[in-house]
Amino acid sequence: MAPPSSNGEDGAAPGAPVIETHGLTKRYGSGPPAVDGLDLSVPPGSIFGFLGPNGSGKTTTIRMLMGLIEPTAGGARLLGEPMPGAARRVLPRVGALIEGPALYGFLTGRANLLRYDAADPTADPRTRAARVATALERVGLAAAAGKKARAYSLGMKQRLGLAAALLRPRELLVLDEPTNGLDPQGMREIRSLVRELAADGTTVFLSSHLLDEIEQVCTHAAVMSRGRLIAQGTVAELAAGARGRLAVTTPDTAEAARVLKEHGLTDLVVGEDRVTGELPPGPGGAGPEAVGAGGGPDPAGMGGGPDPADLNAALVAAGVRVRAFGAERASLEDVFVALTGEGFDVAG
Amino acid sequence: MSRAETVVGAAEVRVSRGPSPLWTLGLLRNEIGMTFRRRRTLVLLAVLALVPVLVGIAIRVQTEDGGARGGPAFISLVTNNGLFLVFTSLAATLPVFLPMALGVVAGDAIAGEAGAGTLRYLLVAPAGRTRLLLVKYASTLVFCLVATLVVATSALAVGALLFGLGEVTLLSGTTVPLAEGLLRALAVAGVVALSLIGVAALGLFVSTLTGSGIAAMAMTVGVVITLQILNTIPQLHAVQPYLFPHYWLSFADLLRDPVYWDDIRRNLGLQAVYALVFGSAAWARFTTRDITA
């Protein structure tokens, strides 16, 4: 993933974070802060997953980044400039979808986009109609552009919201739950759109409560819980934090467990026809590049203990009949549970 | 990678060419267009246009059986000259109908956008809070003017149809030609529209306080009606000159010869003060408020 060459006169230095916050805090009333001392750093060119259960402070953070609400303490920089102070210079270069789309039901889809574009004082009115048409095309709404927005389905509204974020070439896209309300086909389309935009050099900041979604598209991720940032880094680094488990499917569970224990596996769980265990940390550890963003079993994700091939040979040598053998890759969900010690539920 | 560079490069070329200052008017044009395309606005204007029709028919019916029996100063004049229906209708709509229609438009200006969630998208576009507020106020003022002209035009048409037009006898007894009468009618409409700028600012301020368009409309209309009532209570004589409806009917002074300017000037001065006070309050509130809707 190549970082965009942002050599603009007022832009950030190349390689400088696209989003940067220092001690960003928002407190409503006297309760616990909604966002507490957030230090976020989003590298240019990344697809950055912003993860956390509902109520963990993701949307409040995004609203502070976009200058909609004033932080109680701390500050944020967007594209190298302070927010909300530089909003007029920065925001035209940022596309956003915040907490779902909001549309004028009595206007057509096209008229909605024309209005949002007119709201941007730096958008050229001479190219407005063409840019609106392109954006509608890009999200697959060209055919429904003349319909009143109140007749749109939730998925169509979501697409129109995305089109509004794509009215101009953007350096940063902030997408809050972009696949909400979409069917699986729509979700796939959005994911490929996000990848396409990132390939063009746009940094994408994607919030979601769907771990799976983040895992599929993101290169980096940050995890929020109860207003605090509990981890951030590349998806590979995060997944490496929670080691994967080795799973053996066999009718000879007792013997398999004995062999695996001999080879240093810990936390063995013996099921009816299945034994799983945690591989010991090896000398090298898992390289960050080892775990790709793609799915599927990934042996290197287990850490750098004994070679799984040797383990399998040992099992067979001991007369264990192996039906299936493989690594269960650590998912972000495992990471999340490991980090917070809790399930992925709404924070109280 | 090279593809990325061309895209970013193109964006920078566009930025460096610099936006024209005129582009900022795009939002105003869009806002005015949107206001007058909304069915709600059209219904309000239709109701306002209906008032002169009802007033005209009422006067026609009343005068047919036994002629004018006193009544308000204008009504006896209407039967002689349809042009006076313009003044009668404006006098009839200014205390209630016009401020009410304005309360709907002004009260909904910010609160309606907040309630629909569109406010956050306008602000990240970025419309700019001060700019958006100015655009909203300007389009509300355009609505004041259009609403007043709708009443005046409808009244002129109905008046001409039911009573005919002719030379105009002013309130001071002087007779002027129809052309000058029409000119004075236009001036009256202008003063009536300007009489509403205080309410418009009040409505806009209320609109920045809440996230519900309906609540803002109701509150604005409520305040207007309360002040009208206060304006009629004799014991409150001391404060009445400071209530914005107090000099509203002074537009009739434009129909004297020579024109009696004192109350008109007081009216416009008072409206300007209200517009300034509530405009500043709206600005102070809107530019510092957290947008959580």
Same domain, A227 and A84: yes
pLDDT in tens, B224-246: 889 888 988 988 888 888 888 88
Judge: B7–A200 Cβ closer than 8 Å, yes or no.
Answer: yes
Q: What distance in Å separates the CA atoms of residue B291 and residue B268, rounded to the nearest whole number?
A: 34
pLDDT at A73: 93
Q: Which residue of A has its CA nearest to B123?
A: A68
pLDDT at A162: 92
Q: How far is A10 from chain B (nearest CA, A)?
A: 10
Evaluate whether residue A216 is within a structural domain: yes
Same domain, A187 and A52: yes
Mean pLDDT is highest, among B15-24, B62-71, B207-216, for: B207-216
The answer to whether residue B52 scores a pLDDT higher than 60 is yes
The answer to whether residue B15 scores a pLDDT higher than 70 is no
pLDDT at B5: 43
ipTM, interface predicted TM-score of the complex: 0.85
Judge: B11–A118 Cβ closer than 8 Å, yes or no.
Answer: no
Q: How far is B19 from chain A (nearest CA, A)?
A: 5
pLDDT in tens, A5-54: 444 444 445 678 999 999 999 998 888 899 999 999 999 999 999 988 87
Any idea what the CATH number is for the domain that residue A192 is in?
Answer: 3.40.50.300
Same domain, A34 and A78: yes
Q: Which chain A residues are Cβ-neighbours of B23 within 8 angstroms?
A: 121-125
Q: What distance in Å separates the CA atoms of residue A170 and residue A44, rounded to the nearest whole number?
A: 13
The answer to whether residue B19 scores a pLDDT higher than 50 is yes
Q: Which residue of A has its CA nearest to B38?
A: A106
Q: What distance in Å separates the CA atoms of residue A340 and residue B11, rounded to the nearest whole number?
A: 42
Any idea what the CATH number is for the domain that residue A283 is in?
Answer: 3.30.70.100
Judge: A69–B127 Cβ closer than 8 Å, yes or no.
Answer: no
pLDDT in tens, A138-164: 988 999 999 999 999 888 999 999 999
Q: What distance in Å separates the CA atoms of residue B207 and residue B211, rounded to the nearest whole number?
A: 8
pLDDT at A244: 65
Residue after which a domain boundary falls, among A187, A206, A239: A239
Residue B177 φ/ψ region, left for φ over 0, alpha for ψ in the -120 to 50 degree band, beta for the rest: beta
Same domain, A304 and A224: no
Whether A129 and chain B come into contact, CB under 8 Å, resolves to no
pLDDT at B193: 95
Report the pLDDT averaged over residues A280-305: 43
Size of interface A-B (CB pairs under 8 A): 135
Q: What distance in Å separates the CA atoms of residue A84 and residue A8, rounded to the nearest whole number?
A: 20
Same domain, A170 and A302: no
Tokens read off for A297:
């079993």
Same domain, A120 and A170: yes
Residue after which a domain boundary falls, among A208, A239, A270: A239
Q: What distance in Å separates the CA atoms of residue A149 and residue A109, rounded to the nearest whole number?
A: 5
Evaluate whether residue A78 is within a structural domain: yes
Q: How far is B276 from chain A (nearest CA, A)?
A: 25
The answer to whether residue A133 scores a pLDDT higher than 90 is yes
Judge: A94–B124 Cβ closer than 8 Å, yes or no.
Answer: yes
Evaluate whether residue A190 is within a structural domain: yes
Judge: A119–B27 Cβ closer than 8 Å, yes or no.
Answer: yes
Domain that includes residue A300, residue range: 243-329
pLDDT in tens, A182-213: 888 888 888 888 898 899 899 999 998 777 77
Same domain, A227 and A258: no
Same domain, A91 and A235: yes
pLDDT at A178: 87
pLDDT in tens, A262-273: 888 877 888 888
Residue after which a domain boundary falls, among A193, A222, A239: A239
How many beta carbons lie within 10 A of that of residue B262, not counting itself? 10
Whether B23 and chain A come into contact, CB under 8 Å, resolves to yes
pLDDT at B206: 95
pLDDT at B78: 77
Evaluate whether residue A344 is within a structural domain: no
Evaluate whether residue A70 is within a structural domain: yes
Instruction: Give me the helix-helix angle, B25-37 and B129-163, nearest 10°.
Output: 40
Evaluate whether residue A2 is within a structural domain: no
Q: Determine the residue among A62, A122, A124, A166 to mutate to test chain B binding: the one whose Cβ has the most chain B Cβ atoms within 10 Å.
A: A122
Position with higher pLDDT, A328 vs B160: B160
Q: How far is A3 from chain B (nearest CA, A)?
A: 8
pLDDT at B6: 44
Q: Which chain A residues are Cβ-neighbours of B7 within 8 angstroms?
A: 169, 200-202
Same domain, A44 and A160: yes
Instruction: Report the DSSP pairing between strands A203-208 and A172-176.
Output: parallel
Judge: B121–A2 Cβ closer than 8 Å, yes or no.
Answer: no
The answer to whether residue A94 scores a pLDDT higher than 80 is yes
Evaluate whether residue A255 is within a structural domain: yes
Evaluate whether residue A294 is within a structural domain: yes
Same domain, A124 and A174: yes
Same domain, A260 and A180: no
Position with higher pLDDT, B279 vs A267: B279
Number of compact structural domains in chain A: 2
pTM of the model: 0.82
pLDDT over 70 percentage in chain A: 82
C-beta of residue B213 within 8 angstroms of C-beta of residue B105: no
Q: What distance in Å separates the CA atoms of residue A33 and residue B36, rounded to the nearest whole number?
A: 43
Judge: A98–B124 Cβ closer than 8 Å, yes or no.
Answer: yes
Scan residues 63-82 of A and list those with Cβ closer than 8 Å to B: 63, 66-70
Same domain, A211 and A272: no
Instruction: Compare CB distances from B5 to A5, A68, A92 and report the shortest one's residue.
Output: A5
C-beta of residue A193 within 8 angstroms of C-beta of residue A22: no
Report the pLDDT averaged over residues A276-292: 51
